[in-house]
Structure 1
Amino acid sequence: MDTPSLWELGVLSDEEVLETRRLLAELEQELWPALRLPGTVEGRDLALARYCLRDLLDGRLDPLVAAERIGFELCPADDPGSPLWPVRGWLYRAEDQQEHCGGLTKELVAELHDLASQLLAGPLS
């Protein structure tokens, strides 16, 4: 992802880099308790999926980006019983649609939003 802040971080001088690293390390320590990520890998993946789904529903995250993060990075590849598995199915349909239709339809994006709402209200609550 390319953002103005990332660009600004990338052009820091050598002197500024050390101070920035220190501040980022402090920020991570300050925010870590607020994230409340569980200790297990599965628990962390589900918590991160909740963050992605909320960002998707709030419009802060592109539908395809959210689905790729959840379906490929957070959903175990060998666990069709995972509550995140339906996102992977949606992602395959979205990739087909992009290839054959040139982009995602509003209906398919709405399906992902519905799925996100269901996951947040049910298995990921």
Structure 2
Amino acid sequence: MKKKAVNPVVLDLAGLTVIADYFVICSGESTTHVKAVAEFIEQEFSGRGQKLLGMEGLDYGHWVLLDYGDVVVHVFEKETREYYALEKLWMDAKTLEINEDKIGVGGKDKRALHR
């Protein structure tokens, strides 16, 4: 199964909330895909020493939230993402460009994200 997330966005929330500095928002094509993407993200973060503080929604797969403290990852089923519209809710946040050729979870190449 292809684990690549659909339409990933990173919101820079620094100074807007104490919840997190960044929201990573992405989608999956189905609940199975959402679960696979969330599990892949958790494995990648864990493999790089990032501690998962909490995970919600994996049992259902419509919206999985992974809390890494300063970074919160939201993996949505497409319809659920459209319904909750977090990008609109946090429209004052800066959107960071994701260079998919350089992206890595916790990698040394910080150029994967651009302001």
Give the structure with higher Rg (CA).
1
Q: Same fold (TM over 0.5)?
A: no
Give the TM-score, by structure 2 length: 0.29
Higher helix share: 1
Higher strand share: 2
Give the TM-score, by structure 1 length: 0.27
